[in-house]
Amino acid sequence: MSVSRRDAILGGAVAVGGAVALTAKEAIAAQDAGKPRAWEPTYSGQPLDAKPERPGEPGKDYKPVVTPNGAALPFKVVNGVKVFHLIAEEVDHEFAPGLKAKCWGYNGRVHGPTIEAVEGDRVRIYVTNKLPAARTTIHWHGIFTPSGMDGVGGLNQATIKPKETFRYEFTLRQNGTFMYHSHHDEMTQMALGMMGLFVIHPRKPSADYRVDRDFAMLLSEWSIRAGAARPDPNEMTDFNVLTINAKAFPSTSPLIVKRGERVRFRFGNLSATDHHPMHLHGHHFKVVATDGGQMHIAGQIPEATVLVPVGSTRDVEFIADNPGDWALHCHMTHHIMNQMGHGFPNTTGMDASGVDENVRKLVPGYMTMGQHGMADMADMKMDVPQNSIPMLGAKGPFETITMGGMFTILKVRDKLESYDKDPGWYKNPPGTVASLATAEELKRDGIP
């Protein structure tokens, strides 16, 4: 699809041989001027009988995505077909130090590894069921497949019994961020973790498609009562473990980028019931795609928060032009709390001294909590029930960070040793950190 003259003018872009490219500097200038960045939609919607093309090669045809805390599903090429193998099985998974559960995932992981391919690829995906006594299927969420490959148990196919291996095969006719998940007894199997991301790159990417860093994040929610060995699939509303790629902060890996780089976040949401408004600090981004395809330039609204509804994906892009440590998190305040932050009686503002004395006669060591909010509890070295995590808290450069759950950190640096090495906390230039006001400052500005 070509870019109209109007788009090119709006984007402040220079058309070279039909392609529209912006340097990082030009893109920042365009953002500063409040103009949309030029964009060439890459959703091509090939016909059903599209012929498979040469298998796309990582490094040559696309730059692989990064799945923080996750992995890519390996493949081999057999007679021009990309062959993958997913193994559904029980997995002992750690959400954060102190909280483990018996989950269901793929290939020893929760969630399953990210499948990555290129539009036009023929893919053959074997699925082996090693679950204990449960049948399963896989649905390729958002992906155009023949009806019989769509994976809804009973509707499109017979279910995969334990020890059986099924073959799925189709040609990818679109590009974007998609997902895969069990579509048999979803309530149980998805609650236990049976899901993953499926990224399809365009066959002929436009210059604007290329980014320096491409992160894929799957959002989900769990009900794991303190001490329980398994997530509870019967829970409908009260989820107490909220995760990015199945990890709760502080176990979420930071997203490490160099200043000036173009960055894409691909969010998918396969939670049971909750939508997640994902908010990035220090930057704004453009929402550029959903699992329905690329957005036209006119629809790319600048945002600092993108709502990722249940069963959807959203791609956002931005220039990381602001060095520092920047929170990236769901803005539902209970979604950035860990397990023990939920289900407390409301004691805010209460004087508990008399109550504590009385209760201690019955329960030695009893202490009412939460009178001053939950933040103080992050610092307490309190015993928590076995196999559970404190509600929040990780050691930060200043004090305890009172966050948990669906929270991670974007680290933007001028210099980086490696993308794989955490650069540590940001060193703020002198005079750029909020701090206690001096008496002179207060006097100067007339603040009592």
In the complex, the residues that contact Cu ion under the rule CB under 5 A are 276, 330, 332, 335
Rounded to a whole number of angstroms, the minimum distance from the CB of residue 2 to Cu ion is 39
3-state secondary structure of 104: strand
3-state secondary structure of 246: coil
Rounded to a whole number of angstroms, the minimum distance from the CB of residue 60 to Cu ion is 37
Taking the least distance from each CB to Cu ion, the nearer of 69 and 347 is 69
Burial readout 80-103 (b: 16 or more C-beta within 10 A, e: otherwise)? ebbbbbbbbbbbebebbeebebbb
- Residue the block writes with tokens 């396969």: 270
Rounded to a whole number of angstroms, the minimum distance from the CB of residue 274 to Cu ion is 5
Taking the least distance from each CB to Cu ion, the nearer of 144 and 215 is 215
Taking the least distance from each CB to Cu ion, the nearer of 216 and 330 is 330
Rounded to a whole number of angstroms, the minimum distance from the CB of residue 402 to Cu ion is 17
Rounded to a whole number of angstroms, the minimum distance from the CB of residue 147 to Cu ion is 33
Rounded to a whole number of angstroms, the minimum distance from the CB of residue 334 to Cu ion is 8
Please tell me the number of Cα atoms within 13 Å of 304 on its side-chain side.
7
Tell how many helices (H) and how many strands (E) occur in the chain: 6, 25
Taking the least distance from each CB to Cu ion, the nearer of 75 and 267 is 267
Rounded to a whole number of angstroms, the minimum distance from the CB of residue 73 to Cu ion is 26
Read out DSSP for 391-446? SS-EE-SSSEE---BSEEEEEEES--S-TTS---S--PPTT-S--PPPHHHHHHTT
Question: Is there a contact between 356 and 363 (Cβ–Cβ < 8 Å)?
Answer: no
Taking the least distance from each CB to Cu ion, the nearer of 248 and 295 is 248
Taking the least distance from each CB to Cu ion, the nearer of 58 and 309 is 309
Could you tell me the maximum CA-CA distance found in the chain, to the nearest angstrom? Answer: 82
Taking the least distance from each CB to Cu ion, the nearer of 335 and 413 is 335
Q: Measure the CA–CA gap between 325 and 83, rounded to whole angstroms.
A: 40
Rounded to a whole number of angstroms, the minimum distance from the CB of residue 284 to Cu ion is 20
Q: Residue 225 has what DSSP assignment?
A: -
Read out DSSP for 149-182? GS--BTTTB--B-TT-EEEEEEE----EEEEEE-
- Pick from 100, 92, 87, 168: nearest CA to 131: 87
Taking the least distance from each CB to Cu ion, the nearer of 160 and 330 is 330
Handedness of CA 341, 346, 348, 354 (dihedral sign): negative
